[in-house]
Every structure is written in structure tokens, then in C-alpha cells.
Structure 1
Amino acid sequence: MGSPPLFSSSRLDEKRRTLSTLTNSNNKHLFFQAFLASVFLLLLALTTNTSTIDDDNRNAGFGEDVENFARKIDAQKLMKQIQNQHGGAYEDEDSKKAVNYAVKLDILSHDAELKAIKLMRERDALLRALDANDKNSGSLDEFAGEDSSGFGMSSVSGKSLSYKKMSKQVNLCNEDGTNVNCPKRANVIEEEESSSFPKVFVYDVPKQLTSELAKRYGRCERDQYGTEIWFHRNFRDDKNGVRTMNPEEADLFFVPQYGECFLWSREMLRHENQGQAMEETNEYFLEVLSHVKGKLPYFNRTDGRDHIFVFAGARGPTIFRDWQKEIPHSIYLTPEGDRTLPQFDTWKDIVIPGLEYDKRMYLEEHRNELVTNPPKRKILAMFRGTIDHPAGFAYSKGLRPKLKKIFQNATDVIYDTKIKDCDRDCYVREMTESVFCLNPLGWTPWTLRFYQAVMTRCIPIIIADNIEFPFESEINYSEFALKIPEKDVSDILETMRHMPEEERERRRRYMDKIWKQFTYQRPAEIGDAYYSTVKELARKVRAHKKYGRESFW
């Protein structure tokens, strides 16, 4: 199976309903045009991907025709039409929202446009490469076929076209790299990806607000919220051309702040006075921003739209009380991808994995041992965590207590709280010996258990309707995880027991391909969570450049 669709039918239905609500009768036909344009371009891209290559397609202008068509249906023109209907100004809040959604539709059109243009160019480039090879005229003059994300090997009808300027040879490689003339796939990806990374400027925030804080509270860099520290270190120490010391050439700006660490330290000191801890954390963020806004002009230039903040906990930016006033347009890297929450915007924010610090989980040598010497998975499913909570139904929507009743007579299922007779070693062992690992929502949809499951080859079962995952544009989660609707949880035992062993193993093999994208390697490595996030940021940069930083969101 390939990557998941650009947008699912359910997502499209959601957009249609939202647009219908937000727009007035004068604007509806404009959005319908933009919607149809997005769908048409995506279908064009998918249809082109399955077609064969022949001499009739040697017309280099074919890709230009696609590009010209995309320009004609550019949703920004629709946005301007909406503005013109109101005399160039927004007369009411609905009109303002309508314009914003026109821009967002344009993003969908842009992604489909890139896919279509990419495939057209690949066809032409491959044919030119074959001609060049026939004439012994050496390698191509340019690298052709950059994919819509700017990364990886270009694919045409199951073949890959690789190009190395130092070589006098054009290599046609099978997708798995089995052709003897094909360079090692991993090496090519590293070379090509590094050239497509965005340039990121890292602000110099005083150490007492960052590194000294982490040093004082060592737990901060080891627990699941440590991503705010690890992203700072990775951007600062990057060796693959991501960091720039010149802010004038920067595509994006990273703002170091350890808000979760600071809040945790205040909560430990204040204990019952949560309000005071939150107020002190708000002051902490304002002090960080004083070193960003007050000393350099770049934040104010775009109102922070090209500035990156890591919010490592489920509360996201809400730990900063003034976030809506101070940084509403900035890019948030956060593990919480709940689409129903106002603090998460799927158009500008990026879902990242939580931090797993245990070497038995993230080190490749330990992970490989699970593949070469797989343990016997004698446990059908496991879960250890909070089940019953004083908050009652408000916690997990009552799902965790409901699961407890479902599993009460299942002798091959571990469903329990974290009791004293099962330490960390026991917990890891149970995961490696389980077929399925349960991931029911708690206060929020996301949980570190999901990433731990992938690292231990335990098939994740997600029970959280509104969750959004990291790197969905690259990873097809349906290939390895099971997502059970919250309303259908009663059937979970039957679902697990009836999955054939062949299907279980197929899902494990898919996890073997993508597990590293959920890990934070030390130091960072191409293909890990840090560089996968950098790739997502690169897509934001391309959108910025097309629409302008000031109006993108």
C-alpha cells in the first residue's frame, strides 16, 4: 500500500459542511468551484500515476498545460472575488472567515497541482534520460521529478529515476533498489533530502530560561515532554544544513522555550496553588518573547507566522495564558493532534511524537533483535495505566472503565493499573510479548503508549475518534494500526481474536519500515522524528513562498 490519500472522503465532507456554514449565498458558488478544482487536480494526479509511458507523451509542454490549468482555477482568485464583492473590505465576520477558507482550499489545490506537475515532469525526464542513455551522452543536466514534498526518490510506473552529478550514468532502479546499477537507496535519500531542508534560524534565548532550567530539573529531558528540549538541541546542533546563522536567509525561526519544564517545576513548588503556577509560567513565556520581539525584527515582520514553538504536552499552547494574544499565528509542534481543540490548527501546526527516552525502545540494535529473534507473543493485548478516575465520565469519556468490564474474564489480556509488582522492565517485556497494545484516550487522545507499541512491534489499537497522527502525509497508519470507533468498542475482543496471524505479521513488517520516524535519536539521524518534522516544515515553507508569509494563515 502507498501513502494515504491527500484528504479522505470524511475530511472532504467535513470541509463541505464547514464551508456551507461559514459562507453566505453570494460566496457558496465560489467555494464549490475551488472544491471541485482541488478534487479534479488530485484525480488527475492519481490517474496519471497509473498510466504508461509511450512516445506520444514526449511533449514537454504537457506539464506546462497542467500548470496553466492549475493557475486558472487558483483559489486565490476566488478569494479576491469574495473581497471585491465587499468593496475590498470585510463587512462582517462571515466574510472574513470565507476569505480564510478560500486560502485553505487553495492549499489543497496546490498540493494536488504539485502531484500532477511532478508526474508530468517525471515522464518527460525519464524519456529524456532514456534518449541520453541511448546516445551515450552522459547524465541529465538537472535533477527531474522532485516529489510534491521535495523529498525521496521519484517514482514512475514502479520505476525510480536516480541522478548523481558525479556519475556519467543514468540508472533505472527498481523501487526496492535491487538493480545492480542502482545506488543504495538510503544514501540517495540523505543527499537529496538535505538539499531540500528549510533554513532555520535559532534564537539566542538566555541559558537561565533554557539549558540551566533543564540541568536543574533533569527529569525534564527524560520524560515524554522532553521534546521541547530535544528539538532545541537538534536545531542548534544540526549538521545537515538546517540551521542558519544568518536570519536574513532563514525560511523559519525557532524559539527555544521549556514551558512544560518550567510549569512542572512551579507545580512542584506550589502544589495546590495551580493558578499561581500558571501565572508564573505566563510570565516565563513573556520573558522569552521579550528576547525574540524586542531584539530582532523578524517576529513582528510576519506577526510570528514563520516562527516555531514546541508545546510538548497535551495542553499545547494553553500553558501560556496569553498565547492567543501573543503567538496565535505561529507554528506549533505538539503531540496533541485533537482536531476539536481550538489550540490545534491542522493547517499550520505539526503533530510530533512524544519522547521515549528508554534505550531499549529507540536504539536500533534493540529493535532489530525483536525482528531477528522475535519473542513469543503469548499475550493477546495489554494496557497499564489509569482506569478509574475521580472525574468519572469526564475522564476518557468512560471508555477505560468500560474496557475493564469487557476484559474482566479474558485471561489472555492484561488490563490493569501500574501496580508495584510490574516495574519498567516488566512493562517493556509485556509489550514485546503482546500481540496488541491498547491505546484508549484519557484526558486527551494522544498517548506515549502508541509510539512504545510501534517500537516493540506490538500492533497498536487506537480508541480515540479525534486523534491526528504525526507525518500522515508519509505514513499510512491503516497499514499497521487498528482504529476502533469509540461507539464500537464492545466488539474489540472479537476483532482482535479474528485477525489471522499472517495479517498480524504483515502489520509488524510495516512497523519495521516506519518505527524510526517515531524516535528521537541522539544525535539526530536522517529518518528519525526530528528530520521527519523538518520535512513537514519544508512543506510549510513552500506554501509560505507561494502565498506570502503575511497571508498564509
Structure 2
Amino acid sequence: MSLDIKRPISNKTKKKTGFIVNMQQLNHNNRGGNNLFIVFFRHYYRWILWFFLSLYFFTSYFAGDQSTTITTTSLISNHKTSLSLPSHALIESSAIVKPAHTSISSGMKIYVYDLPARFNADWVMSSDRCASHLFAAEVAIHRALLSDSNVRTLDPEEADFFFVPVYVSCNFSTANGFPSLSHARSLISSAVDFISESYPFWNRTRGSDHVFVASHDFGACFHAMEDMAIEAGIPEFMKKSIILQTFGVNYKHPCQEAEHVVIPPYIPPESVQRATNKAPANRRRDIWAFFRGKMEVNPKNISGRYYSKGVRTAILKKYGGRRRFHLNRHRFAGYREEILRSVFCLCPLGWAPWSPRLVESAVLGCVPIVIADGIQLPFSETVRWPEISLTVAEKDVRNLRKILEHVTATNLSTIQRNLREPAFKRALLYNVPMTEGDATWHILDALSRKLDRSYRRSRVLSQ
């Protein structure tokens, strides 16, 4: 039996259209049955056609609904220009990704060790700067945890993590006014000796559920010079613990060879508020590209290396004196007001990849221009940095003007709009007491994803 599907010849009198199915069989005695089928089809083809069309649209609707994808965003680097643009600023969508779970803690509890004053309180008493300088995250996190009755527990037996509050960034005895880290290893080692002798919790896990803060240039390597930090490495007794550190890179590095969370440097929220209050309501951003800070004219430092890998020197030589670039090597107490006047704020690496300018510029609405190859930015799992900053490769710094002009002509207004989101600003600032969505809140959120290190929970699961 053969099956032919043919479109019928049009009938001018009845003007009916449709498909006629002709069944050609070798046995001609069955033509009567064929005629009955044709008569049936001619009378009811409209109903048959309506049924199949309805079925088609019904299934198409649900198939399309399930395969709907999220609206795509465009990268600046996708624009065809004569430059290879290293920027990663996105065109649209929110800069904050809400965590998947509704409660950041998931019932998580943290026990804060009550250490002798020589490990923390004495340092604050000896210097007003201890709680307010760029390394002061160690103080702010400690205070925020003490003020949080939901996460903090006074019973160490129900704790998932143990916070060790040692302030190692407050030794301002140096001639240049920067804190010395020469005592950091011995101070933390002494604190570990104290808790391991006074409590049973360190010894049972060798510190894997214990949390430290290392808010210095190269984190728990405790040195401001990278080569010496690498040579010293992370102290052995800390390698099993969780380190909250400002240092982070997306490649293998000896100073992050421990479980860690990359956190923002400390900027006093009140200083941000003061700068904002001083600015006029109808302020204009009349500075196009801004940087104030250490820039070496002769870039060789005492170790024979180049400060900032020569990046800041290249910026100064190329753009110093240019009308659209406001570059200054000297300190100025009101430089946050300058940030409020600026469109782009340059954030080149210094001794380490990260810089407090990253936070200052972002929370004051100036687009951060990150110039530090391989840097890992704070809370990168929840804060979509590419939508509120630009990344420029160190080798492309001499093309900086053209890169910024391209951004100005394309999606600058969108980046600035993303920067104005209150949730983003909250994520980079530490508050006491902690507020939902602030820097300490995001740290707790990151720790809640490491609950597999909780001794208490592992015991519950094994029972």
C-alpha cells in the first residue's frame, strides 16, 4: 500500500481547500471504503484542523516557557573598536546577587573567644587609629560579632565556628606612620597557645573551624613586600583555619594557601557620610579621571623592585599635567570630596593588588578603574563587580585615555546607575552593630557556605 498526500485542485464554485488523502490499493474491491473516508474527511476537516492547530500552540507555549533564558547583557569588550578593551563593565541588571538561602546563617553559630586584653583591647587603647585605618577590618568584624545576638553564641559547645580576635595591625611604632607587622606571627601564635591550653576546641580539629582576620597587604603571610611575604608563607598553625583577608588573586599564590574569604578593606562609614554631607546637593562631577596617592617618579625602591610594578609611574609620566587627569602625589585630608567630584577613579596596585580606593570610589559613586592583573575582588560570589567597575590590564595603562573615552561614549550612565544601588554600598562597609547586607553580613554569608568544616555539624551527621 502506498500513501500519497496531494493538494487538491481548486474548485472555483465551492472554493474549499484541504488535503485529500488518496489510498491506492492493489485490491480495487475496497474503493467503497475509501469513498466513505473521503466523504467523512471533507465534512469534518475543519474540526480536525482546529484540533491539531490547538494542540500545536498549546505544546509550543509550555515548551517555550521552560526554555526561556535570562536576558543577556553586553560587555564593553564586545564593542568593535581599534582598541582591545580590557574592561568588563556590563550594560544592565543588578549589581547584587542575593544569596540562594533566605537566612545567611542557616542556624550557624559563632563563638567569640574572650582573649586577654593584650591581644586586642590594649592595642585600641594605645592608638586612636587602630579602629579606623585601612586594616581595621579586624576590629570592626570583632565588634560586629559581639553585637550580634542571632549568630553569636556564648556556649562554645553549640558553635560551628570560633572567632579568634587578635589585632595585629595596630602597631604604629614605625617612623613612616604605617603599622609594623613584625610582631604579628608571635602575637597570633601566643593567642593560639592560649586557646589550645584553655579550651578543647582548637585541639580537636587543629583549628579547621577557627576564623582569623588578616587584613594586611599579603594576608596571613604578614609582610608588606611580596617577595618576603612569599618566602615567609602562612604560619603552619594557621594553614588549616579560615582566613578573612583583603588579599586575593585568581591564581595560585603562597599567601592564600589556606581556606579564605576575600573581604573589603576598612573605610569608616562615618567618613563616607561626612564627605557626602559636605557635597552640594546639585554637585557636578567636574573631574574626569582622578588619582591621589603614592606615585614614584623614580620607581626603584629599596628592594630593587618596581613599586606598583611601574604602573603608577607609567600613569604619572603619560598623563601627569593632562587637563582631563587630576593626578596628585601628596596627601590631602579632603580627598574624598575630590572623589565625589570625579567620574573615574583610578585604583592601580601598590605593594599589593588591592587598594582602599576601590571601596572609597565605589561607595562615593566614582567608577573604580581596577588596574591590578589577576586581582580577586571582595565577595565576588555575591557582588557582581563587572557591572559597577572597569578592569584595565596593566599593559594597557598607556591606552587609558582612549579606554575611558570609549566607556564615556557607550555605557557610562548605566555603570553609574548601578553604583547608586544602596545594596552595593552596604556590602563594602562595616557597621557596628551589623546591618543586613553590610560587609560583616556578607562574611557570615560566606562562612555559611563552609559549614562542612563545622565539628558540631559533622558529629550530628555521623550519629
Q: CA deviation at 1:195?
A: 5.4
CA RMSD of aligned residues (A): 3.7
Deviation for aligned residue 1:386:
0.8
Aligned position for 1:163: none
TM-score, normalised to structure 1's length?
0.59
Shift of 1:369: 9.5
Instruction: Check whether the contact 2:138–2:166 (CA below 8 A) recurs between aligned residues.
Output: yes
Using the TM superposition, name which of 213-222 and 495-504 deviates more: 495-504
My pick for the range that moved more, 433-442 or 492-501, is: 492-501
From the superposition, tell whether residues 208 and 487 of structure 1 become closer, same or farther in structure 2 (CA, over 3 Å).
same
2:153 is matched with which residue: 215, 228, 244? 244
Whether the 8 Å contact between 1:259 and 1:319 is mirrored in structure 2 is no
**Conserved 8 A contact 1:461-1:481:** yes
**Contact kept? 2:307, 2:350, Cα under 8 Å:** yes
2:235 pairs with 316, 319, 324, which one?
324
> One-letter code of the match for 1:436?
F
For 1:475, the aligned partner's letter is V
Tell me if 1:193 matches 2:91.
no
* Residues 369 and 540 of structure 1: CA distance in aligned 2, closer, same or farther (over 3 Å): farther
Does structure 1 residue 490 correspond to structure 2 residue 393?
no
TM-score normalized by structure 2?
Answer: 0.69
Q: Distance in 2 between matches of 1:196 and 1:393?
A: 47
Correspondences of 1:209-224 after superposition (within 5 Å): 209-224=119-134
The offset of 1:356, in angstroms, is 0.6
CA radius of gyration, larger in: 2
Number of residue pairs matched by the alignment: 360
CA distance in 2 between counterparts of 1:543 and 1:306 reads 6
Amino acid at match of 1:233: R
Q: Distance in 2 between matches of 1:505 and 1:379?
A: 16
Q: Distance in 2 between matches of 1:397 and 1:195?
A: 41
What corresponds to 1:536 in structure 2? 446
Determine the C-alpha separation between the residues in 2 that align with 1:314 and 1:322: 13
Aligned-partner residue type, residue 434 of structure 1? S
Partner of 1:413: 325
Answer 1 or 2: higher relative contact order, Cα 8 Å, separation at least 6. Answer: 2
Q: Deviations over 1:408-437 (max 9, x none)?
A: 352121112025xxx322x11211111100
Superposition deviation, residue 543 in structure 1: 6.7
Counterpart of 2:118, as a letter, is Q
1:355 matched to 2:266: yes
Structure 2 partner of 1:463 = 371
Q: Which position in structure 2 is the counterpart of 1:398?
A: 310
**What residue number does 1:519 align with?**
429
Matched, 1:383 2:291: yes
Q: Within 2, Cα distance between the matches of 1:398 and 1:157?
A: 41
* Structure 1 stretches lacking a partner, 5+ long: 1-51, 58-119, 121-155, 159-174, 177-187
Query: Aligned partners of 1:402, 1:157: CA distance in 2, in Å?
Result: 41
1:301 and 2:204 aligned? yes
Asked if residue 233 in structure 1 is aligned to residue 143 in structure 2, the reply is yes
Query: Which structure has more helix as a fraction of its residues?
Result: 1
1:135-156 CA distance string (max 9 Å, x none): xxxxxxxxxxxxxxxxxxxxx9
**What amino acid maps onto 1:416 in structure 2?**
N
CA distance in 1, matches of 2:308, 2:104: 41
| 1:438 counterpart (342, 346, 349) | 346
1:545 Cα deviation after fit: 8.3
* In structure 1, distance between residues paired with 2:200 and 2:338: 53
Question: For each residue in 1:413-463, what CA deviation from the matched residue of structure 2 results, as whole angstroms up to 9, or x when unmatched?
Answer: 1112025xxx322x1121111110001111110000010011110001011
Provide the residue aligned with 1:181 in structure 2: none
| Partner Cα separation in structure 2 for residue 342 and residue 461 of structure 1 | 27
1:134-213 residue pairs with structure 2 within 5 A?
192-193=102-103, 196=106, 198-213=108-123
Q: Are 1:311 and 2:243 an aligned pair?
A: no
Q: Which residue in 2 is equivalent to 1:99?
A: none
User: What do residues 378-401 of structure 1 show as CA deviations (whole Å, max 9, x unaligned)?
Assistant: 111010111104416521111111
Contact 2:388 2:416 in 1 (8 A): yes
With over 3 angstroms needed to count, the CA separation of the structure-2 counterparts of 1:335 and 1:504, relative to structure 1, is: same
After TM superposition, the structure 1 = structure 2 runs for residues 323-342 of structure 1, keeping only pairs within 5 Å, are: 323-338=234-249, 339-342=251-254
1:268 offset after TM fit, Å? 5.8
Q: Please, which runs of 5 or more residues in structure 2 have no aligned partner? A: 1-59, 72-92, 224-231
C-alpha displacement of 1:548: 6.1
Q: Which amino acid aligns with 2:444?
A: V
Whole-Å separation in 1 of the counterparts to 2:384 and 2:125: 38
Equivalent residue number for residue 447 of structure 1? 355
SS in 2 for 1:475: coil
* Partner Cα separation in structure 1 for residue 186 and residue 238 of structure 2: 14
CA separation of 1:195 and 1:230: change in aligned 2, threshold 3 A? closer
Percent identity of the aligned residues?
Answer: 28
